[in-house]
Amino acid sequence: MATIDLSVTTVREANELLRKYGADGIDVEVLNPDARHHIGVGLTHPINVHIKGSAGYFCGGLTDGPRFHVDNNVGWGVGDNMLNGSIVVDGNASAIPGVAIRGAEVVVKGNIGSRAGQVMKAGTLLACGNASFMAGYMMYGGRLVILGNSGEKVGQDMTGGDIYVAGKIGEMGTDAMLIDLPQKERDEILAFLDKYKIPFTGTFQKIVNAGKKLRYPKTEPRRRAIPFFESFADNSYWNAKVQEDIHVKSQIGRYRIRGYGASRPMPHLSDIAFKKDIRIGAMTDPDVISKIEMKTEVGGRSGANPLKLSMPVMIAPMSYGALSKSAKLALAIASRLSGISENTGEGGMSKEQREEAHQLIYQCLAGRLGWNIHDMQKANGLEIYISQGAKPGLGGQLMAKKVTPEIARIRGIPAGIDLRSPSRHPDVLGADDLVIKVEEFREATGYRVPVSVKLGAGRVRDDIKIAWKDGFDFVELDGMQGSTGAAGNEVLEFVGIPTLSAIQEARDALTEVGGLDMPVILMGGIKDGIDTIKALALGAHAVAMGTSAIIAGGCIACLQCHAGTCVTGIATQDPEHEKRYNVPVEARNIHHFLESVRWQIAAITHAMGYSNPHQVTRDDLVALTPEAAAITRLPYHPEYRERDQGLLKAS
């Protein structure tokens, strides 16, 4: 048995030591924990860890295998996302104990705080005392056993799993109901209690999901898809899309879901032009790429290993789930061929994707769908998703047709539901909590992997300052011209903030707090190398491309991404549809497109007389419309429009 004394060792050092002892199979005793945060985070070996006192936030979080014993209390999020192993807490647990566990056993001898077992997927969370507000909130699976009283709103919006309450049941949560307790399940719980030597002879009431909110009551009727450009090409008031919307709503009686992003004309990078003279002749130089330095590093500002991009471009986050495995694979291959990074999006990391992409960012969403310590440790970047440009403030939607058994298994949710992912992180209810969360990710990966945040443009000025204060290595900032696999049409059209405003506000905010050392990756309607250079000049460090990469890989922009019957095999989980997708061909197409972006970046940079696209500044830009000028404070020069169009043709 080894000993670690936290009165003389930092938690960071202690966690490194724990990993070392874990690898050697040595049990550990932790002295003087004094309620410090992150004790035991990231441990993946089945050793015993005895914490002699109280532990703080995320004790034993992001782990697989260890058995913790805590002599006193624990703070928020004990056992966060734990796969296998156990945590026994002799005292009380604060809020969200057992959050997102995926098989672990978390036993609390005292009382547990609010939102116990939020988004848990599998395993057992046991409270010997009372639970608090919203126990079992949005749980997807596993069992929550409460020997005391349940607290108010028990089982609120639970999707799956079982809650057993021995004491008094407070107000039931929405979409939860009481059912009879099968004898077999009581016996199983008693056996569990016996295993942890907890004397109990009573019985339980059982709470499960009532099934009223798992599916939209009526599915949208199938219609011939009207492509994006056709839908909105006609500027007349009662255009084809408006009429179709009204017809469909008259049948389903609710908002419509569709794929893609905002269609309304809005100020964008196309309303900005280059002011500096461009030598069109220089663009025809066949060696132009070799003359321009555009390698871009992102994510090293706090000492982590940065992403090394061959150009200031990334693939934007899109989930396996919204997209087929084949489409994700093609993106991964293309990202490798072009020397840039790929991003998992919400639905977890697939083995094939990991193997193909050389630089892969792994995204953590509020539902913790597909999130686990092993993939975190395999990732080249970790990203906390706060929201998305196409639907800021809302969680993802994945219609039942796409929630196949395989997708459900990876995400840890029941198959065949209309998945509406939570929009709020269980353990991030403010900037103060977020600091502690970021630190947990760093502890879990030994401070080697950059941690970024994805922000949908909303209150950019405030959000970006918080991101900087919370020490993120970079921000992916997403404007409303970005797309999504599924969202309410009204949200897509009327909620977001244009990409152009987003980058301007971000730049202003970072200048105000002296935070320009934090890179901003701009996304949301970035079409090509020209947009990329404009974004860079306006203050972005790089851009990320989603829609354009998908179109390069065969998307026909029919807006039916949500339906699950994508004819190109991109936005589907149906093997019949997916087999139409030719991975090597589409990977090559995406790669070719990315190389055209590289060429554009090089040609324009060169033609402006620079040697690096990062040298282009605001002084090289003008605004073509009064709106764009107002947003960016660039000089208004509509006369540059003609030249800008010439440039488009030339490139």
Give CA–CA dist 259/391, Å, rounded: 11
- Is 360 or 466 the residue whose CB approaches other proteins more closely? 466
State the minimum distance, in angstroms, from the CB of residue 311 to other proteins: 35
Closest separation between CB of residue 79 and other proteins, Å?
Answer: 17
Q: How many CA atoms lie within 13 A of 344 on its CB side?
A: 33
Interface with other proteins (CB under 8 A), residue from 54, 156, 532, 547:
54
Q: Give the footprint of other proteins on residues 614-643 (CB under 8 A).
A: none
Evaluate whether 532 touches 597 at the Cβ level (below 8 Å).
yes
Shortest Å distance, C-beta 440 to other proteins:
12
Q: Looking at beta carbons only, is 51 or 487 nearer to other proteins? A: 51
Nearest-angstrom CA–CA distance, 11 and 37: 8
C-beta of 439: minimal distance to other proteins in Å?
8
Burial 91-111 (b: 16+ CB within 10 A, else e): bbbbbbbbbbbbbbbbbbbbb
Nearest CA-CA partner of 572 in 409, 406, 430, 353: 406
Binders in 413-452 for other proteins, by CB under 8 A: 429-432, 435-436, 439
Ordered DSSP codes for 396-407: -EE-GGG--HHH
Contact between 36 and other proteins per CB under 8 A = yes
> Residue 45's closest CA among 287, 373, 397?
373
Determine if 12 is a binding residue for other proteins (CB under 8 A).
no
Cα angle value 536/441/329 (rounded, 5°): 60
Cα distances (angstroms) measured from residue 427 to each of 75, 97, 117: 11, 10, 11
Please identify, using beta-carbon distances, which residue of 53 and 422 lies nearer to other proteins.
53
Q: Are 545 and 316 in contact (CB under 8 A)?
A: yes
Between 54 and 388, CB nearer to other proteins: 54
Pick from 277, 462, 490, 639 the residue near other proteins by CB under 8 A: 462
Note whether 484 and 390 are within 8 A (CB). yes
Shortest Cβ distance from residue 53 to other proteins (Å)? 5
Out of 111, 319, 388, 547, which residue is the one contacting other proteins (CB under 8 A)? 111
* HSE, side-chain direction, 13 A CA sphere, residue 142: 32
If phi > 0 it is left, if psi is from -120 to 50 it is alpha, else beta; for residue 138 that is left
Q: Which of 21, 57, 140, 472 binds other proteins (CB under 8 A)?
A: 57
Q: Any contact of residue 241 with other proteins (CB under 8 A)?
A: no
The 91-110 contact track toward other proteins, x by CB under 8 A, reads xx-xx---------------
Tell me the Cα Rg of the chain: 26
Choosing from 12, 378, 465, 580, the residue that interacts with other proteins (CB under 8 A) is 465
Stretch that binds other proteins, among 113-121, 500-508, 516-524, 535-543 (CB under 8 A): 113-121
Nearest CA to 177 out of 157, 195, 194, 192 is that of 157
* Beta carbons within 10 angstroms of residue 69's beta carbon: 17
Q: Toward other proteins, which CB reaches closer, 36 or 206?
A: 36
Does 7 engage in binding with other proteins (CB under 8 A)?
A: yes
Q: Binding segment for other proteins among 259-267, 460-468, 595-603, 633-641 (CB under 8 A)?
A: 460-468
Q: Which residues of 139-164 are buried (b: 16+ CB within 10 A; e: fewer)?
A: bbbbbbbbbbbbbbbbbbbbbbbbbb
What stretch of H or E contains 602? helix 583-607
Interacting residue with other proteins among 26, 27, 48, 72 (CB under 8 A)? 72
- Site residues for other proteins, 492-551, by CB under 8 A, read 513
Shortest Å distance, C-beta 127 to other proteins: 13
Q: Is 580 in the site for other proteins (CB under 8 A)?
A: no
Three-state secondary-structure class, residue 55: strand
Cβ-proximal residues to 528 (8 Å cutoff; 6+ apart), any chain: 548, 596, 597, 600, 651
Query: Between 43 and 74, whose beta carbon lies closer to other proteins?
Result: 74
From 15, 44, 63, 73, residue interacting with other proteins (rule: CB under 8 A): 73
Shortest separation between residue 33's beta carbon and other proteins, angstroms: 8
Cβ within 8 Å of residue 291, ≥6 positions away: 285, 602, 606, 611
Nearer to other proteins, 356 or 433 (CB): 433
Q: Which is nearer to other proteins, 379 or 466 (CB)?
A: 466
User: Nearest distance from residue 633's CB to other proteins, in Å?
Assistant: 22
Min dist. Cβ of residue 75 to other proteins (A): 6
Site for other proteins in 466-495 (CB under 8 A): 466, 469
Q: Could you give the residue ranges of the DSSP H alpha helices within 401-488?
A: 405-411, 431-444, 460-469
Q: How far is the CB of 300 from other proteins (least distance, A)?
A: 22
- Segment interacting with other proteins, rule: CB under 8 A, options 112-120, 267-275, 324-332, 531-539: 112-120
For other proteins, the closer of residues 5 and 639 by Cβ is 5
The rounded distance, in Å, linking the Cα atoms of 55 and 614 is 46
Which residue, 13 or 34, is less far from other proteins as judged by CB? 34
Total residues interacting with other proteins, rule: CB under 8 A: 40
Q: Note the helical H segments in 350-459.
A: 351-356, 373-378, 405-411, 431-444
Among 133, 196, 200, 255, binds other proteins (CB under 8 A): 133
The residue type of 76 is W
Q: Could you say which DSSP state residue 347 is in?
A: T
Binding site for other proteins (CB under 8 A): 7, 32, 34-37, 52-54, 56-57, 71-73, 75-76, 91-92, 94-95, 111, 113-115, 132-134, 152, 429-432, 435-436, 439, 462, 465-466, 469, 513
